[in-house]
Amino acid sequence: MLHSMTGYGRGESIGHKCVVSIELRSVNNRYCDVIMRNNRGYMAWDEEIKKSIQKRLIRGKIFCNLHIEEINSNGGLSKLDAEAVKNYANLLGEIKKYAGIDEPIKLNHLLGNSNIFLQPSKEDLEVLKKLAFEALENAIKELADMRSDEGKKLSLDIVERMSNMQEKVEEIEKLSVNNSSKQFEKLKTRVDELLRNRIEPGKLDHELAILSDKLNITEECVRLKSHIKQFLTYIEIDEPVGKRLDFLLQEINRESNTIASKSNENGIAHIIVEMKNQIESVREQVQNVV
């Protein structure tokens, strides 16, 4: 079954000192591109988190927001480095002086520098990491479930459209019965009018037979049905198939163009226009498939 690339998932894990939450938001992308954002600057985990996401979600541009909120200030993770606060305040004063800025130093100017806080202990970091990956697991599951649900809806619509195309190909086959012989007679009549027997009839018939055979669309119809059948088979596979579906749509579109260029039947031309509209609609949906 297909899986959509768009979705949202959130996970939360609560410890003694803090609450760790992770939000994942996924949009379309050819590859799996993970963009990390966190409010506490624990960059050491970023690559590990990215790899966990990429292993599970395969495709999509995924925004990962890691948020750590302390439960209380007493015995929490953040401990103020008094010396660092003084040094940073002095530095801001020097910057003001040299830049000619009169604005007073405010609390938010100081809080913008994470270096004024002492780093958590090794034990606290280990607990934090454990909480973060618990939250990540829940967020990935929720996102994957949403992508799966969206994929089921996409599948139903795509199957309906592809089944409709199958019917259109069968209509084309019915209209194209004896198409070569009809084209042969039309060409022969027209050429006879132009040449008025200046060429041997047998040779003329042979050349016209070759030309009319080139207008036969049987092979294109066979390939179209084969591509559509394979497309419907891929939809049922529980693995990433978006790229394969996109390639098959290109082939279906190519065969449709060939039929349109070879056939002089108005009925077939109208069917091809309808098919190409369906192909375009399915292509837009396939762009959102993992």
pLDDT in tens, 101-149: 888 888 777 766 767 766 777 888 888 899 999 999 999 999 999 999 9
169 and 90 part of one domain: no
Q: Are residues 26 and 141 in the same domain?
A: yes
Domain-located, residue 1: no
Is the same domain home to 103 and 133?
Answer: no
pLDDT at residue 194, rounded to an integer? 56
Closest by alpha carbon to 32, among 62, 7, 77?
62
Of the chain, the end-to-end C-alpha distance in Å amounts to 10
- Residue 140 sits in the same domain as residue 14: yes
Indicate if 181 and 238 belong to the same structural domain.
Answer: yes
- The reply to whether 245 and 260 lie within a common domain is yes
Question: How far is 204 from 242, CA to CA, in rounded Å?
Answer: 50
Q: What is the pLDDT of residue 76?
A: 61
> Would you state the pLDDT for residue 147?
95
The number of folded domains in the chain is 3
**Residue 230: inside a domain:** yes
More confident call, 94 vs 180: 94
Q: How are strands ordered across the β-sheet holding 18-27?
A: 7-14, 18-27, 60-70, 32-38
The verdict on 36 and 166 lying in the same domain is no
Most confident of the following: 76-90, 98-112, 217-231: 217-231
* Other Cβ atoms within 10 Å of 283 Cβ, number: 15
Residue 2 lies in a domain: no
The DSSP bridge pattern shows strands 79-80 and 117-118 to be: antiparallel
Which residue, 12, 91, 7, is CA-closest to 57? 7
**Domain around 129:** 7-76+121-147
Is the domain of 243 the same as that of 176? Answer: yes
Q: Please state, in angstroms and rounded to a whole number, the distance separating the CA atoms of residues 196 and 155.
A: 59
The residue length of the chain stands at: 290
Are 210 and 175 members of one domain? yes
Q: Which of 44-58, 136-150, 179-193, 235-249 is least confident?
A: 179-193
Q: What are phi and psi of 267, to 5 degrees?
A: -60, -40
Residue 130 lies in a domain: yes
- Report DSSP state, residue 116: G
pLDDT per residue over 19-78, tens digit each? 999 999 999 998 899 999 987 666 778 899 999 999 999 999 999 999 988 886 555 666
CATH number, domain at 70? 3.30.230
Residue 66's closest CA among 87, 91, 45?
45
CA distance 223 to 250: 13
In a domain, 279, yes or no: yes
Q: Are residues 44 and 83 in the same domain?
A: no
Do 20 and 129 lie in one domain? The reply is yes
Same domain? For 95 and 172 the reply is no
Domain final residue, candidates 59, 93, 114: 114
